Amino acid sequence: MKIFMDTEKPIGPEVAKFVAKVLDRLAQGERVFGNRSLLAPTARLLDEVQQELEDVAGWGALLWVRLERLRERVLREGEPRHDEDDGS
């Protein structure tokens, strides 16, 4: 079972995918809101950003718990073999 990131693989494709997704979200926002976000009161935009960061922090906490449980499993069961095929 392979559970760790492949360190031999370049990150370029994932970064390109991330950038494409951000650009898509910006385009969606423009279609829905037009330029209202550019004209919105700064305090409202700050509230929006704070709420988004709270969401990101919440998801980060959930992911941290999952990683901690994975770490405990690795400590309990031992390191996975890196030459083992995970079936993908």
Q: Tell me: the pLDDT tens digits for 8-29?
A: 778 888 999 999 999 999 999 9
Does residue 7 sit within a domain?
A: no
Does residue 32 sit within a domain?
A: yes
Choice between 7 and 16, residue whose per-residue pLDDT is larger: 16
By the 8 A CB rule, do 74 and 80 touch? yes
Q: How many domains does the chain have?
A: 1
Query: Which residue has tokens 């809101």?
Result: 33
Question: By residue range, what is the domain housing residue 46?
Answer: 12-77
Name 2's Cβ contacts closer than 8 Å, sequence gap at least 6: 80, 82, 84, 86
Global confidence as pTM: 0.59
In tens, the pLDDT along 40-59 reads 999 999 999 999 999 999 99
Does residue 28 sit within a domain?
A: yes
Asked whether the predicted pLDDT for residue 71 surpasses 70, the reply is: yes
Reported residue count of the chain is 88
Asked whether the predicted pLDDT for residue 65 surpasses 80, the reply is: yes
Does residue 54 sit within a domain?
A: yes
Does residue 71 sit within a domain?
A: yes
User: At residue 29, what are phi and psi to the nearest 5 degrees?
Assistant: -60, -40
